[in-house]
Amino acid sequence: MSKADITRQFALDRVGNPYIFATDGQECTPAKRRERANAKPDYAANIKKYCPVLSGKQADCTGCKYQGKAAYDCRGLVYRALKAAGVSISSVGASSQWNGDYWSEKGAIADMPVDRVCAVFMRSASASPMGHVGLYIGNGEVVEARGHAYGVVLTKLKNRKWTDYAIPRGLYGGEETVPDADEPLLRKGMYGPWVATLQTILVKLGYDLGAYGPNKDGIDGDFGAKTEAAVKAFQGSHTLKADGVVGPLTWAELEKYSPDEEPEDEPEELFTVTIHNLTYAQVEALKAQYLVVIA
């Protein structure tokens, strides 16, 4: 199989798998969902809602359609699908993937070659700049980890609001492959896209990196004194050795704070229902079964 075929098949084989924010192939269990909910409080309600155990619907995972399956979020699915073919991109977030030097070709979705496997992106006003990523597999179809309510799904390119595409360097013959490595060891004095990825996360977390880079936000790809100080501060607040060196343990903690947003937990339609003459026990039973507001 070609690298493109391996990538395509990996993605197709994951259709029907669960979505959990900030995962990239870990098994879906109540414990994993609880861990992610604690690390990502903004997404905690939806992480728990679609778990029969954490939502209180049943005592264990028996009968759950996601039992034993690997969970992904959008960037995690694309990262793992390409990695299966020996092509490496950032695992941190959709914006970090788009901004990195991982692509042989990038452009507007209208200009995308329809016969090539590639990453497709959605721009977001509140992300920097991408809020969502999927994998175009040809034939007008995309595999995407769409959101907690959907899981990993196969969708039509034309039915979704994709804005940009990017063809990974090394996915097709004759192209130089980005070295196959997870997040590299970073320290003061280094320079490049991985440093920019690190800085993007630190800035999103509120660390001051100075007025460097094109946007004067400290994101310039240069691991200087300000970046080192921010790394040490982050490490110190997360029970890590505060040495300013970004290794596997620090990367693992940083990835819990991916700066990209997942826009696809679309609000469900709400209804107002008035029921008279219920007992207290009946009210409590309704609250346990449905997402309700008791007025």
User: DSSP secondary structure string, 176-239?
Assistant: PPPP--SSPPB-TT-BSHHHHHHHHHHHHTT----S-TTTTSS-SSB--HHHHHHHHHHHHTTT
What value, to the nearest 5°, has the Cα angle with vertex 47 and ends 98 and 202? 40
Backbone angles phi, psi at 265, to 5 degrees: -80, 75
67-76 confidence digits (pLDDT tens): 999 999 999 9
pTM over 0.95? The answer is no
| 219/233 Cα distance (integer angstroms) | 17
> Looking at residue 50, what is its pLDDT?
94
Is residue 271 over pLDDT 60?
A: no
Q: How many CB atoms lie within 10 A of CB 12?
A: 15
pLDDT at residue 177, as a whole number: 38
Tokens of 205: 């977390």
Does the pLDDT value for residue 248 go beyond 90?
A: no
Structure confidence at residue 151 (pLDDT) = 96
Closest to 18 in 3D by CA, of 55, 58, 67, 61: 67
For the stretch 85-109, pLDDT in tens is: 889 998 888 998 998 889 999 999 9
User: What's the mean pLDDT in 115-136?
Assistant: 91
pLDDT bracket for residue 267 (50, 70, 90):
very low
Tokens, residue 175: 């192209």
Out of 3.90.1720.10, 3.40.190.10, 3.40.50.720, 2.60.120.590, the CATH code matching 3-168 is: 3.90.1720.10
Nearest CA among 215, 217, 216 for reference residue 207: 217
- Indicate if the pLDDT at residue 276 is higher than 80: no
Domain ranges of the chain: 3-168, 193-246
Helix (H, G, I), strand (E, B) or coil at 141: strand
Mean pLDDT, the chain, integer: 86
Residue 4 reports pLDDT greater than 80: yes
Q: In what helix (H) or strand (E) does residue 156 lie, and over which residues does it extend?
A: strand 151-156
- Averaged pLDDT for residues 256-271: 54
Give me the amino acid identity at 218: G
Which of 38-42, 103-107, 177-181 has the highest average model confidence (pLDDT)? Answer: 103-107
Q: Is pLDDT of 269 > 60?
A: no
* Predicted pLDDT of residue 197: 85
Contact 196, 221 (CB under 8 A): yes
